[in-house]
Amino acid sequence: MPKVTVFAVDDILATGVTGPLEVLNIANIQADLADLPAQQRFSWTVVSVDGKPVRSSAGFMLPVEGNYMRAREADIIIIPGFNHRTGREVSHYVSAMPEGYLSWLKAQHHAGKVLCGICSGTFVLAEAGLLDGRRATTSWWLTKSFRRRYPAVDLHPRDVVTEDGNLLCGGSAASWMHVCLRLISRYMNAQVASACARIMLVDPASASQAPYLNAEHLTASRDSALERVIDRMREQLDKPLSVSDMAAWANMSERSFIRRFREVAGMPPGHYLQKMRIDTAKRLLEQTDLPLEHIITQVGYADVSSFRRLFRKEVAVSPGEYRQRFRHGSSA
């Protein structure tokens, strides 16, 4: 029987504690209906560092069943997201975590337990050094802070959930649904996971953070010279721009400029320019009624068909689907 421990701390997002347990309970019901062996049912407990109740981010108290020592019995440890307003707050929060707690997490991982970080909870796994060199994700708008603090992590911000061995990461605050579906598939089977997904109206196959990611979320450090270049790029999106133009603006050789740009943005300048153009097109699709033909000329493209293909590749939906979903005032 897979044993799950949810680790709660003050200012925790309550749904990050209760949501996974509700999903796993649904999985147990579906397992009963599918006549799976009893040893495949999930059991769970909620703990805090000291065994005392914790105050949720909404201000009410969450009971726990013991302190962190209870987690020694667990096969799976879930670290939910906690309340925050900025990426800087998250970084400050994890930097103040006791070294003993981080060492304890490392020991659990080395013991073969599955560790799951949800939203800002992924920072906890990274702070413990467990994600270095591993595929991971975090909430799309925390990407810049995450990359800045943990450059050794193989971050994939488009992904809602990543799975690298016994380390699972969920992107958004509600990504516990997707993480739990992975756990259900691993410890029960894909059929039960699919049944749970249908009950919760979750489509794992189409889940992506790509529609919400902007180029600015991807830069990992401050660099005044490159920020000036990016500002000029933004002002001239409708014009043909070459890497040599950008390097000249930064007073660098092309080779030095490309290398430095990769260090800051995690991609070549041409790819970053492409993302900036896509971001502007997204904004125009949200805020105006302009036809797509007019929008693409404002962002430096001429061929509608090729732009549609590029947009879908970068954003995971077509321009029309994006406008329908995100158009301001839309009831969709």
3-209 has which CATH code? 3.40.50.880
Where do we find the tokens 């009963």?
32
pLDDT at 219: 67
Distance CA 7, CA 77 (A): 7
Where is average pLDDT lowest: 249-253, 299-303, 328-332? 328-332
Give every CB contact of residue 263 below 8 A, 6+ residues apart in sequence.
220, 221
Residue 332: pLDDT band with limits 50, 70, 90: very low
Domain range summary for the chain, segments of one domain joined by +: 3-209, 215-326
pLDDT in tens, 164-180: 999 999 998 899 999 99
Q: Which two tokens stand for residue 86?
A: 């900025």
- The share of the chain scoring above pLDDT 70, in percent, equals 97
pLDDT at 222: 62
Q: Which two tokens stand for residue 246?
A: 């950008």
Biggest CA pair distance of the chain: 69
Give every CB contact of residue 322 below 8 A, 6+ residues apart in sequence.
211, 282, 285, 311, 315
Is residue 310 predicted with pLDDT exceeding 50?
yes
pLDDT at 122: 97
pLDDT in tens, 166-221: 999 999 889 999 999 999 999 999 999 999 999 999 988 878 888 887 777 766 66
DSSP 153: B
Distance CA 193, CA 161 (A): 15
pLDDT at 218: 67
pLDDT in tens, 92-144: 999 998 888 899 999 999 999 999 999 999 999 999 999 999 999 999 999 98
- The share of the chain scoring above pLDDT 90, in percent, equals 70
Q: Model-level pTM?
A: 0.77
pLDDT in tens, 262-282: 877 778 999 999 999 999 999
pLDDT at 242: 93
pLDDT in tens, 238-266: 999 999 999 999 999 999 999 988 877 77
pLDDT at 266: 76
pLDDT at 267: 83
Task: Give me the mean pLDDT over the 136-153 stretch.
Answer: 92
215-326 has which CATH code? 1.10.10.60
